[in-house]
Structure 1
């Protein structure tokens, strides 16, 4: 069933979100603090049975200089430098096996698949820890460190994402002018933040992006992860205003209004995890050239494989794989 507003209303929907006046200053200072640490990229070959791709274990210094792990996959025997995609995964998951997620490298890109810190237990293995503790929170990640903008979990994650673009550009095999950011669900929200924090990325792909229009999402979403916010605020009854003040620095609508890279979005109108209006709130605020695929009878999977086919076609003239 449809989970949100009718499509005609979604196309003109404007989020009530308003960015705090010091949104840009906060993120400038956060990235400047991270820049005090050398990016410290290490690349180690990984033996696999793959015959057409080479795989490497990559680490780089993220927020606080903490080591972030990633897979680098590149087409074998294809001369570089190559266009690159920096890929972020879904909520609670991890980068998984070196043998998974082979589409982008198979299509001619250098693919840097980032392992989101502190996650990796639900669907695919992760190896990146989060050494920063937090105060009381609802189970999951959405309220971790939510007492302040400085301690909030996604401050570290979004900084890791911006640093991931820097790490990709430091690789000899990558053309620094042809780096895109991509992801689905949580990964789409992280990619959207990265596109704003690193404004000269070449392209963005966000499939059913999470972490957008957070106040609305907390009120209408009936499934996790957004229900974590409701669960937290059901007990922290007097912290509603403070909580959403903190979240205003991390809302995808705020990042969308600052990002200018050519962007490809997608959403399923039967998505009961990420309400479609929250994606439209970000999409309609997006500053750059943009396209949105809407799948009327799909849920959180959005267009699935068709989305991949479509975004590969979108990226080809922008990033020119094979040239």
Structure 2
């Protein structure tokens, strides 16, 4: 391991915890009504006609046909993104790829999959799905309508993911039962919240997922989106109760499909104890794997080798059956 020891943060991004302690973290219990809250939202998302509009993108790539795509999510919210279709071969799988809180400026062309149509949606309020009513920065976005659980932007982003699955199923009916999800950081937390309730998704890959173990998330120093919520909570102490409905670790305990989760030992943006809370919550199964990174949201020695090893696992994980 090459956990960073030199940094300029005013706090310790390991939070004084080594691997054994991180693996022993117990996720929080679900609040009353947790499953009903999300199951109802999923049922509503399934009623949406997304009306996808696809056009050829100005971006080109030798391996992929690149398309710009728009669709409508819940509440008629317009979502923009990209759709990659392999130039060679038959589409036999689908993959929805979420992004971090930095948004997304372009699709990733190095996703290690074959025979797979890949949808890169931008979650509501961010990048191609920006809207005047939602702050575009992480600190503002994460607070958008946080005092109204039914309208909190994070719930809307989960719905955007579910509707993205509907879009792939509409565009490629043959892959309806073979759609995966991959998300990093913000997209990892959104994925953990979405996966238990959408049985159209057959496997998930999360990297340094946020929103795990909200009681801890509200207390640990960070440079990430949690910092603005922590500041808000000082004058709105009831927000902690609302956030229990949006706990990625609570949701992860309910995921029943194969999972590959990468978590970091050092991370100034998403506290490792919160990441491990998500990974530890997964049901014990030979189909689930936890991949340990030395650091997240930070450049470190041997990072290229670790991420290359993770990419190899991702390729096997999403291999076309």
Could you tell me whether the CA contact under 8 Å between 2:100 and 2:187 is conserved in 1? yes
Partner of 1:290: 288
Could you tell me whether the CA contact under 8 Å between 1:133 and 1:145 is conserved in 2? no
Could you tell me whether the CA contact under 8 Å between 2:233 and 2:240 is conserved in 1? no
1:63 aligned residue (74, 83, 93): 74
Partner of 2:125: 118
Could you tell me whether the CA contact under 8 Å between 2:98 and 2:188 is conserved in 1? yes
Quote the Cα distance in structure 1 between the aligned partners of 2:306 and 2:94.
21
Structural mapping, 1:275-286, within 5 Å: 275-286=271-282
Q: 1:67 to 1:226 in 2, by over 3 A?
A: same
Partner secondary structure for residue 62 of structure 2: coil
Partner of 2:21: 9
Matched, 1:35 2:22: no
Displacement of 1:306: 3.5
Matched, 1:88 2:91: no
Superposed CA RMSD in Å reads: 2.5
Q: 1:83 to 1:230 in 2, by over 3 A?
A: same
1:300 aligned residue (292, 297, 300): 297
TM-score after normalising by structure 2: 0.85
1:18 aligned residue (25, 29, 42): 29
Quote the Cα distance in structure 2 between the aligned partners of 1:117 and 1:230.
22
Matched, 1:233 2:233: yes
Q: 1:319 to 1:264 in 2, by over 3 A?
A: closer
Structural mapping, 1:108-147, within 5 Å: 108-119=115-126, 126-130=127-131, 139-147=139-147
Could you tell me whether the CA contact under 8 Å between 1:60 and 1:68 is conserved in 2? yes
Displacement of 1:145: 0.6
Partner secondary structure for residue 19 of structure 1: coil
Quote the Cα distance in structure 1 between the aligned partners of 2:85 and 2:274.
34
Deviations 1:134-176 (A, max 9, x none): 9xxx942222211121121101111111111121121127612
Q: Which moved more, 1:54-63 or 1:32-41?
A: 32-41
Deviations 1:45-90 (A, max 9, x none): 224342221011222221212121120012103223x212100110
Displacement of 1:112: 0.5
Quote the Cα distance in structure 2 between the aligned partners of 1:262 and 1:307.
20
TM-score after normalising by structure 1: 0.85
Displacement of 1:312: 4.3
Quote the Cα distance in structure 1 between the aligned partners of 2:154 and 2:305.
28
Could you tell me whether the CA contact under 8 Å between 2:264 and 2:275 is conserved in 1? no
Deviations 1:84-117 (A, max 9, x none): 21001101x33313xx410127644211011111
Partner of 1:266: 262
1:103 aligned residue (110, 116, 132): 110
Could you tell me whether the CA contact under 8 Å between 1:178 and 1:319 is conserved in 2? no
Displacement of 1:229: 1.4
Quote the Cα distance in structure 2 between the aligned partners of 1:200 and 1:49.
30
Partner of 2:9: none
